[in-house]
Amino acid sequence: MATQFMFPRNEKSEEIVRKTTPKVIAHFIKKKLTYGSPIFIRIFKESFQLELWVKNGDKFILLRTYYICDLSGTLGPKIQQGDRQAPEGFYSVAPDQLNPWSKHHLSFNLGFPNEYDLAHKRTGSGLMVHGKCSSTGCFAMSNSRIEEIYTIADSALLHGQPSFSVHIFPFRMTEQNLTKHKSKWTPFWKNLKEGYDFFEQTSIPPHIRVENCRYTFSFENYQTMAAEIPNEQICVD
Sequence-ordered list of residues with C-beta below 8 angstroms from that of 103, at least 6 positions apart, any chain: none
What number of residues does the chain have? 237
H or E element at residue 145: helix 143-158
Query: Which are the contacts of 91, defined by CB distance < 8 A and separation ≥ 6?
Result: 110, 111, 112, 114, 165, 166, 167, 168, 226
Asked if residue 38 has a cis previous peptide bond (ω within 30° of 0), the answer is no
- Least Cα distance to 48 among 70, 31, 33, 75 occurs for 70
Single-letter amino acid code for the residue at 205: P
User: Residues with catalytic annotation?
Assistant: 130, 138
What is the C-alpha to C-alpha distance for residues 50 and 75, in angstroms, rounded to an integer?
Answer: 16
